[in-house]
Amino acid sequence: MIKTLKLALVIPTVLALVVMPIYPTFASQDYYPVQNPQTLVCQSLNAVGLGCGSKTTATSNSIGTYQPKPVLLNFDVFSNTPVSVVGNSNLTSTVSNAIAPKDLSGQKINLVSVPNSQEIYELVNGQKHAFPSLAIFYDYGYTLDMVQPVTQFQLDKYPRADIIKIKGNSALYYLTEGGLIRPIVNNKILDYYGDRTQDAVVISRKEFNFYPTNQYVYQESPLNRDVFQISGSGKRYLTPMAVARLGIRADQVAPVSKSELDFYKTLAPLVD
């Protein structure tokens, strides 16, 4: 009986002296589950038939499997999507889940930009439309935190929006690559360019007034380098001398199809 009692006292002491000094070494290993050292002693005693007791006291609450304390993070450990924390509340939704910006027609759009580029685009109707200036961008009520970064490769997948109209006005206009505005004199012209009226991007009057009027054109297909001046009255051929005298620059002359040019009534040429 005495030997058994001595053994019961000696074994826990030996286990404590052996396990506790080497515990930090094992706990530092990635594969080793982090546990309370007293738990390890109790597990060893249970293995030889000696328990730690069943009573639960204020001091024995620490004995058992380690439970990490929950903490609030300012990032999602399961994804690269940034999230925000408000005070001590739970994680809020991501920026991408916020209210999506809309254009003047009420249609949801995406605002995107390529890193290290000054241009901001709206993606609408499967097309991209660049804002001509940051002031115009802000005038729509948009903010820079609405802009999502995209690669140039992703942006290039979207064709340029070339048909626009002013909010509250049904008239359609062609927006050239050089940023010039030309009225669509007949909607049948859209068929020649593969455009549709429903693809028109709705813009503000302020943005519309930003673009210069496209009044000089040349026939692109089949190619004819003759320069014409177009207006609501028709088209007027300009001789090279007239082009030089008016100081017309190459960036002021936009290409048009023969079909579009034919819609304009022919007026008297401007010779000099």
264: in domain: yes
Q: Could you report the per-residue pLDDT of 144-193, keeping only the tens digit for each?
A: 999 999 999 999 999 999 999 999 999 999 999 999 999 998 888 888 88
- Domain stops at, among 140, 156, 172: 156
Structural domain of 140: 102-156
pLDDT value of position 66: 36
244: in domain: yes
pLDDT band at 246 (very low <50, low <70, confident <90, very high): very high
pLDDT value of position 149: 95
168: in domain: no
pLDDT band at 129 (very low <50, low <70, confident <90, very high): very high
- In the chain, how many domains are there? 3
Mean of the per-residue pLDDT values for the chain? 75
Which stretch of 69-73, 115-119, 215-219, 261-265 has the lowest confidence by average pLDDT? 69-73
Q: Is the pLDDT confidence value at 30 over 90?
A: no
74: in domain: no
Q: Could you report the per-residue pLDDT of 72-112, keeping only the tens digit for each?
A: 333 333 333 433 333 333 322 333 444 679 998 888 999 99
pLDDT value of position 81: 40
Q: Is the pLDDT confidence value at 225 over 50?
A: yes
189: in domain: no
48: in domain: yes
pLDDT value of position 11: 52
- Domain stops at, among 43, 62, 81: 62
50: in domain: yes
| Cβ-based neighbour number of residue 163 at 10 Å | 20
Q: Is the pTM of this model over 0.85?
A: no
57 and 107 both lie in a single domain: no
247: in domain: yes
Q: Could you report the per-residue pLDDT of 52-69, keeping only the tens digit for each?
A: 554 444 444 444 443 443
pLDDT band at 70 (very low <50, low <70, confident <90, very high): very low
